[in-house]
Amino acid sequence: MGEPAALGCRVCCKSSWNQLQDLCRLAKLSCPALGVSKKNLYDFEVEYLCDYKKIREQEYYLVKWRGYPDSENTWEPRQNLKCVRILKQFHKDLERELLRRHRRSKPPRHLDPNLANYLVQKAKQRRALQRWEQELNAKRSHLGRITVENEVDLDGPPRSFVYINEYRVGEGITLNQVAVGCECQDCLLAPTGGCCPGASLHKFAYNDQGQVRLKAGQPIYECNSRCCCGYDCPNRVVQKGIRYDLCIFRTNDGRGWGVRTLEKIRKNSFVMEYVGEIITSEEAERRGQIYDRQGATYLFDLDYVEDVYTVDAAYYGNISHFVNHSCDPNLQVYNVFIDNLDERLPRIAFFATRTIWAGEELTFDYNMQVDPVDMESTRMDSNFGLAGLPGSPKKRVRIECKCGTTACRKYLF
């Protein structure tokens, strides 16, 4: 879906060179200024195909021309069309819908109006998803590309969703920048004073491959903007962002959108952050009453030490907005601290609990639980007790689980 939809999708113009020059003169336009020459004169651009028929073994397609209204659609024989990709996609959509409706894939000589209308809506949806995919990739600040796919229904891009790469801070909330950093020559092999984790009385989070080696519930302290180490420091993992190519896809079992990986992800590797608006718990309560009626589960409590703030990813978020719940997930959540050390405002990071193969859906447990970590490896805070896991999405209503795993608890909360 990453390619422009119109590549190579052109057919012959029906106006002569002289006719076009006359039209340009009447409109006081210059053909060269329009990029028109004898070489490219005979090109029209196919936007999408609307219908199909077969007459005496000759195939014809009703063509929607880019830049022209539907009233200018024309039937064209197959040999006039050079848009191979659009033709292939049209027949793929046609065959899939014929199988769904009639359990056969061979197209009839004429399509019934309902089927033709479906193909038009499918073509429009695909173009809308292509534009959305391009918008997402233009906004992302991470290495991994995003693709979008819907082969299930006619739903297009979600309305009123804005892609962001980091927290959007709500009114009255401040993210204080860290004042000091480490002075290590080698943060992994020769940390000075325990590096940034040691300065906060915690263990170094990663091995030399960037895989987390802490138990679930232990916080991660990465090097920050004040540190002497560079970009390649082994203690800079979450801050580098998503590095895997991921696909937002429409599920076929009623779970809406989901996310799958297009690459193999090794166990304990960082996958993505959960980002959105940081709001107060009071504001979260107000919004939650609205979201209850929509069955939404985008409110994620930041209750590492206190339940003061919540992340709301309903309208502002990244690809994690589309990650579904599973009672047997392949992602685990960790609290992460980098440039802001306020323990009430951790960053939320997902790491792989096992090897995840290309094509697998990514999931996390919306109602995660964890066994208490041993006392020697986790700091006991004098004010707030044992530091633990970040909160799961705000638990408000009893929602039926559709994960389908053998470990399914039947309800999300």
Residue 206: strand pairing partners = 212
Q: Are residues 152 and 29 in the same domain?
A: no
The answer to whether residue 400 is domain-embedded is no
The answer to whether residue 392 is domain-embedded is no
Q: Are residues 98 and 193 in the same domain?
A: no
pLDDT of residue 383: 30
The answer to whether residue 398 is domain-embedded is no
> 20 and 41 in contact (C-beta within 8 Å)?
yes
Helix H or strand E segment including 221: strand 220-221
Write out pLDDT tens, residues 201-225.
999 999 999 999 999 999 999 999 9
pLDDT of 391 strictly over 70:
no
Least trusted range by pLDDT, from 1-10, 156-165, 291-300, 348-357 = 1-10
Per the prediction, the chain carries an average pLDDT of 86
Rounded to 5 degrees, φ, ψ at 309 are -125, 160
Residues 6+ apart with CB under 8 A from 123: 48, 49, 50, 64, 90, 93
Query: pLDDT band at 16, cuts 50/70/90?
Result: low
pLDDT of 407 strictly over 70:
yes
pLDDT of residue 41: 47
Question: Of 87, 112, 135, at which residue does a domain stop?
Answer: 135
Query: pLDDT band at 393, cuts 50/70/90?
Result: low
The dihedral through the CA atoms of 204, 207, 212, 214 has a sign that is negative
Question: Of 92, 108, 135, at which residue does a domain stop?
Answer: 135
Q: Which residues of 267-305 are buried (b: 16+ CB within 10 A; e: fewer)?
A: ebbbbbbbbbbbbebebbeebbeebeeeebbbbbbbbbb
Binding site membership for S-adenosyl-L-methionine: which residues? 255-257, 324-325, 366, 402
Cα 256 to Cα 263: distance, rounded to the nearest angstrom: 22
CATH of the domain at 221: 2.170.270.10
End-to-end CA gap in the chain: 36
The answer to whether residue 89 is domain-embedded is yes
The answer to whether residue 410 is domain-embedded is no
DSSP symbols for 108-136: PSB--HHHHHHHHHHHHHHHHHHHHHHHH
Binding site membership for Zn(2+): which residues? 182, 184, 187, 195-196, 223, 227, 229, 233, 327, 401, 403, 408
Cα 412 to Cα 396: distance, rounded to the nearest angstrom: 10
DSSP symbols for 21-71: HHHHHHTT--TTTTT--TTTTT-EEEEEEEEEEEETTEEEEEEEETTS-GG
Binding site membership: which residues? 182, 184, 187, 195-196, 223, 227, 229, 233, 255-257, 324-325, 327, 366, 401-403, 408
Q: Which pTM does this prediction carry?
A: 0.82
Alpha helices in 256-369 (DSSP H): 281-292
Cα 290 to Cα 315: distance, rounded to the nearest angstrom: 13
Q: What is the largest CA-CA distance in the chain?
A: 87
pLDDT of 356 strictly over 50:
yes
Q: Are residues 275 and 147 in the same domain?
A: yes
Q: Are residues 88 and 118 in the same domain?
A: yes
CA angle 160, 175, 312 (to 5 degrees): 30
- Domains held by the chain: number: 2
Cα 102 to Cα 403: distance, rounded to the nearest angstrom: 30
| Domain of 111, in residue numbers | 10-135
pLDDT of residue 102: 81
Helix H or strand E segment including 336: strand 331-337
Q: Does residue 403 sit in helix, strand or coil?
A: coil
- In this prediction, what percent of the chain has a pLDDT beyond 90? 67
Q: Are residues 180 and 327 in the same domain?
A: yes
Residues in the chain: 413
The answer to whether residue 201 is domain-embedded is yes
pLDDT of residue 306: 79
Write out pLDDT tens, residues 21-74.
667 667 666 555 545 555 554 568 899 999 999 999 999 999 999 888 999 999
Cα 11 to Cα 78: distance, rounded to the nearest angstrom: 11
Q: Are residues 233 and 327 in the same domain?
A: yes
pLDDT of residue 173: 92
pLDDT of residue 185: 92
Helix H or strand E segment including 100: helix 84-102
Q: Are residues 331 and 262 in the same domain?
A: yes
Among 298, 257, 229, 75, smallest CA distance to 149 is for 257
Q: Are residues 313 and 255 in the same domain?
A: yes
Most confident by average pLDDT, 11-25, 68-82, 136-150? 136-150
Q: Are residues 91 and 124 in the same domain?
A: yes
Question: How large is the average pLDDT for residues 328-354?
Answer: 96
pLDDT of 395 strictly over 70:
no
Among 74, 81, 50, 66, smallest CA distance to 4 is for 66
pLDDT of residue 382: 30
> 398 and 238 in contact (C-beta within 8 Å)?
no
pLDDT of 398 strictly over 90:
no
Q: Are residues 101 and 201 in the same domain?
A: no
Query: pLDDT band at 387, cuts 50/70/90?
Result: very low
pLDDT of 308 strictly over 80:
yes
Q: Are residues 111 and 210 in the same domain?
A: no
Residues 6+ apart with CB under 8 A from 345: 173, 175, 278, 302, 309
Q: Are residues 162 and 97 in the same domain?
A: no
Cα 117 to Cα 270: distance, rounded to the nearest angstrom: 44
Question: How large is the average pLDDT for residues 369-379?
Answer: 42
Write out pLDDT tens, residues 56-65.
999 999 999 9
The answer to whether residue 173 is domain-embedded is yes
Question: How large is the average pLDDT for residues 315-339?
Answer: 96
The answer to whether residue 254 is domain-embedded is yes
